[in-house]
A and B are shown apart, each in its own frame.
Chain A
Amino acid sequence: MTEPDDTQRPDGVVTGPQDVAVAFRDAAVQLGGRTIWSGVDLEVRQGEFVAVLGPNGVGKSTMVKAALGVLPLSEGTASVLGKPPGVAGREIGYLPQRRNFDAGMRVRGVDVVRLGSDGDRWGVPIPGGERFLRWRRQQRQRVEEVIELVGATAYADRPIGQVSGGEQQRLLIAQALVRRPRLLLLDEPLDSLDLPNQAAVAALIARICADQGVTVMIVAHDVNPILSSLDQVVYLANGGAVSGTPDEVINSETLSALYATPIEVLHTSDGRPVVVGQPEAPAHHADRHAEHGH
């Protein structure tokens, strides 16, 4: 299912090594005159599963938006899939920090997923267009395929406002995947899910990363559900970033220094690391919009 895009890129524009998906060089972002972070160096390779961690308000979402090209860098350079941010739009699947859908929203899950495929096309879909339009048939097939991939087939035909938070999140991951992106940018996909759903959605994302060869950059409050599958960790704190392998960053000394509060990394009986004493993700993040500045 992986597409050999690297070998046949037509435009030949490559600003870094072929297998680098996201790179920041001495990057900084300002919002409303305030520097959110600066001097950030980061390199994410194709197919890696990377977490962006850190306390509230340090600019984790800002980093995702900078990679998307929605927010410009005030200093430094960035490249995303070998291009400047914002140019590789079609090859990026994005899942924004979520509010839940209005319970009264009378739109089916499958419609929301399909919008990920053709929502930016002008015009209106002609009813029954599958019969004479080939791309509509392929699109329908692809939509069914991703919905099955995330295990949402059973409830995709129900109004999206009436399925649970975990089910909505699965449908939204399907929406982000529908165009076969090479990079997934997920902003707090585990936020506001209960523990079993956090584990299930985290496992789903890890499986997509491994099976489909998609690079995944995930913003998270709580590292524990994803810790065992991570290739790299980016910790944002104090206006800068530290990145490295999970072993390098997720240890008691580094984390305690970053959070300026005692944090312990323990190991479970089967060898999985668990972070204890970090500010646990609260059920509702009343202050999470502070970092958007709108």
Chain B
Amino acid sequence: MGTDGMTGHLTGGLQWNLGNDTRQLFAYHFMVNAFRAGTVVAVVAGAVGWFMVLRRQSFVGHTLAVVSFPGAAGAIWLGLSATLGFFVGSLAAAVVIALVPRSGSGSPSSEESAVIGTVQAFALACGVLFVSLYGGFLDSLTGLLFGTFLGVSDRQVVTLALVGVAMLVVLGCIGRPLFFATVDADVAAARRVPVRVLSVVFLLVLGCTAAEVSQITGALLVFALLVMPAAAAQQLTARPIWSLAATMVIGLVVTWLALAVAYFSIYPVGFYVTTFGFAAYLLAAGFRWVANRSGSRRRLPVMGVAAA
């Protein structure tokens, strides 16, 4: 696909030549690291996000990510590593939310969302304070909130990979009972599935994952990788294993495309991840709409009863 007529005007110089452009993309070590980190984060966020969407805990996920911002800002202010700050912030919030009493059936209570909202607002305010205490240069604030891929160090990649593998191992062990507890908490409890313990473990996993994703997409745009691929995949199919796999594939494609486009563009990577995630969701919703239309002869008589 090489038409020579177009030459990129932008900094990187997009040549519209797949071979050359790809070589250019991986010419710098920081880009290689960005792809490594992005790949780890996309896979882990896909797997965890799939459960999060099914458990209707998106609000919790968002809060855990937002809380990673004051964590990171505070860490920078104190002269510690931002990575550490991301994880400490999110995990601390996960523990706080886990301590809120839940109703027996495991569904979020109104008290819980009120507590979560309160924690989230306070955390954001603390983040802003830490940034101004540090003497605020605006770049780091934008990076923390909306994502950056320029500064991913080798050490950070290793940390992300280790934590990511740990999350996948935990999820691999608790996957099926967690699914049971999510779909059918009462029967799961009667079958001696430790519903409450699983929900706490999942919160901690979600906290770690939100901290990981925040480091790529920024604290405010984690949904791009936590929610969008899972939401899109669940539109495509109702088969659990297939939609879980599709979630990870969509996440990977979105991340790789976004990193590549962001490299040749002057706009932040968070914008592209989110835009491509949104596009994936629209495509999936469109696909489902078309599929429903073609199968509506069967479905229509049931719709009225389903609402009852």
Hey, which bits of chain A sit against chain B, CB under 8 A?
Answer: 68, 70, 89, 92, 94-96, 99-100, 102-103, 105-108, 111-112, 115-116, 118-125, 127, 158-159, 161-166, 175-176, 192, 292, 294
Contacts and interface: CB of A to CB of B under 8 A. Distances in A.
A127 B185 CA distance: 24
Contact of B184 (A106, A119, A292): A119
Contacts of A161: 306
A175 B302 contact: no
A70 B180 contact: no
B50 to A, nearest CB: 11
B241 A125 contact: yes
Which secondary structure characterizes the binding site on chain B? helix
A175 B303 CA distance: 23
Interface of B: 54, 56, 103-105, 171-177, 179-180, 183-184, 186-193, 234-235, 237-243, 245, 299, 302-303, 305-308
Given A102-B56, A163-B302, 10 more contacts: A95-B187, A106-B237, A107-B54, A115-B183, A119-B191, A120-B180, A121-B176, A121-B177, A164-B306, A175-B187
B246 to A, nearest CB: 12
Contacts of B56: 102
B238 A118 contact: no
Contact of A106 (B171, B172, B180, B238): B238
A120 B172 contact: no
29 contacts: A68-B190, A70-B189, A70-B190, A94-B190, A95-B187, A96-B186, A96-B187, A96-B190, A106-B238, A115-B180, A115-B188, A118-B176, A119-B180, A119-B184, A119-B193, A120-B191, A122-B173, A122-B174, A123-B176, A125-B176, A125-B241, A127-B241, A127-B242, A127-B245, A161-B306, A162-B303, A164-B306, A176-B187, A294-B104
A111 B239 CA distance: 8
Nearest to A128: B241
A115 B183 CA distance: 9
B184 A89 contact: no
A112 B192 CA distance: 17
Query: A-B pairs with the 8 shortest C-beta distances?
Result: A119-B180, A124-B175, A164-B305, A96-B186, A106-B234, A294-B104, A159-B238, A94-B190
Given A112-B183, A115-B179, A165 B192 contact: no
Contacts of A115: 176, 179-180, 183-184, 187-188
A130 B308 CA distance: 37
A292 B238 contact: no
Nearest to B307: A103
A164 B104 CA distance: 26
B122 to A, nearest CB: 29
A103 B306 CA distance: 7
